[in-house]
Amino acid sequence: MTMRLKKTGLRASLLGLATVAALGGAALAQDRTELGFATSSSGGTGYMYAVAVATVVNEDSPDLKITPFPSAGVVENDRLLRGDEAQLILHTGGQAYSSYRGEGKYPSAFTDLRAIMPIYASLVQMIVPKELESKTPGELKGKRVGLGEPGSSANTYVRQVLKAEGVNDGDYDARPNSLTEQVAGVRDGNLDALTTVMGSGAPALQDLATSRNVRWLSVSPETLTAVMGMNPPGAVVPVTIPAGTYAQQDDNVQTFGVPIWIMARADLPDAAVTQIITRFLGNMDRAREVHPIVNGTTKDFVAGATPPVQWHPAAAAALSEMGYSTLPFSQ
C-alpha cells in the first residue's frame, strides 16, 4: 500500500537495479521520486488534505508522485516514517515533540524527524446524542465514550480533556473505535459520545449531524488551560467552531485545535521538499476544489505555528519564497 522513496543515493541505485531486472530498462525512461504519505482515518480531513496536496503536486510534476494512504493515527505514522514505510506523514505538534525527544510513547529519540510545513489545526470535537443529559465532558463519567483508535490524536487529547474534568481512565466505558465505528455507534444508540480530532466540517460528521439529533460539547477555559499545561508550547491552541458549521449546531462551540504538520525524514531530498511546498501553495485554487480544508493553511497560521522539531533544510526557504513567514526551532 505504501510507496518507497526512489532515486536517492544508494537506495535509488538498488531500487533502480531491481526495477531493471523486473521490468526492463525501459521502465527507467523517466526517473521519478515516489513518496508514500501516511495520513489519518479515511473519513478524516487529514486524509482529504493529503489527497489535495498529492493531487496538485502530482498534476504539476513529471518527476514526483505522492500516494496518500489512511492510517490509525500519528503514532502509527511516526512508526511508518521511522521504518521508511512512509516518506511523508501527518504529525501533531505535541506528538512530534515527544517523538523527537524519545519521550512518552516513543522509546527512542527520532532526531531525524523534520518539519515540512504546518497545514491546519485539527479540532477536538466531542459529540453526543441530543437527548443525553451530559452537558460537559466531565459529565461523561460512566458513559460509553468513543476515543478513536489507539495511537490516534483523539485517544490522546480527549483523555486529557476528561482527566482535566476529573474523569480518569476506568471511570467510563472507553471504546477505542475508528471514526466510522463511532458514527455508526452514535447513530444506532450503541455509543454515548463520539470524540475525534479532525478539521471543522468533516464529511463524516456532517453526515452524522443530518441523520441523528446530536450536539457538540464545549471545552471550558479552565479545562483548556489544564490541557495546555499537559502539553509542550504550541501543541494546542484555542479554537471556536462557528454556529452553523454543522446541521443543528445553533451555537458556537468552544474547543481547541491541534496544529497538524507535514513531516519527513532529514534525508528527504531538498528538491522534493521544495516541489511539494511551491507546487501546493502555488495551486491553492485547485487544492480547494479537492477539499476546502486547505483554507486552513493561511499565512497567519503558518507564521504562528511553533515548530516542535527542526525544519527540513529546504522547507523554511521554500515557505519564505512563497511569502510565508516561519518561527525558528528552539530546543
CA atoms of 278 and 271, how far apart (whole Å): 11
89 part of a folded domain:
yes
Do 264 and 115 reside in the same domain of the chain? Answer: yes
Most confident listed range (42-46, 54-58, 202-206): 54-58
Q: Is the pLDDT of residue 17 over 60?
A: no
Structural domain harbouring 69: 9-119+260-321
What pLDDT digit, counting tens, does each position of 190-241 carry? Answer: 999 999 988 788 888 999 999 999 999 999 999 999 999 998 877 888 888 9
Using the 3D structure, point to which of 206, 229, 258 is the last residue of a domain.
258
Residue 42 has a pLDDT of 82
Do 271 and 234 reside in the same domain of the chain? Answer: no
Strand intervals (E) in 130-252: 144-146, 173-175, 194-198, 214-216, 237-241
Strand intervals (E) in the chain: 33-38, 64-69, 88-92, 113-129, 144-146, 173-175, 194-198, 214-216, 237-241, 253-265
Do 111 and 181 reside in the same domain of the chain? Answer: no
1 part of a folded domain:
no
Do 115 and 264 reside in the same domain of the chain? Answer: yes
2 part of a folded domain:
no
Residue 15 has a pLDDT of 37
What pLDDT digit, counting tens, does each position of 122-141 carry? Answer: 899 999 999 999 999 999 99
Do 278 and 232 reside in the same domain of the chain? Answer: no
142 part of a folded domain:
yes
Radius of gyration of the chain from its Cα atoms, rounded to whole angstroms? 20
Do 235 and 285 reside in the same domain of the chain? Answer: no
Do 316 and 211 reside in the same domain of the chain? Answer: no
Do 203 and 232 reside in the same domain of the chain? Answer: yes
Do 148 and 170 reside in the same domain of the chain? Answer: yes
How much is the average pLDDT of 59-76?
92
Number of domains forming the structure of the chain: 2
CA atoms of 269 and 221, how far apart (whole Å): 43
CATH number for the domain including 141? 3.40.190.10
Do 148 and 219 reside in the same domain of the chain? Answer: yes
CA atoms of 63 and 49, how far apart (whole Å): 21
How much is the average pLDDT of 253-260?
92
Beta bridge partners of 35: 66
Do 265 and 217 reside in the same domain of the chain? Answer: no
178 part of a folded domain:
yes
21 part of a folded domain:
yes
329 part of a folded domain:
no
How much is the average pLDDT of 309-326?
95
Q: Which of 240-249, 278-287, 312-321 has the lowest mean pLDDT?
A: 240-249
Task: Identify residue 142 by its one-letter amino acid code.
Answer: G
Beta bridge partners of 115: 263, 311
Do 128 and 232 reside in the same domain of the chain? Answer: yes
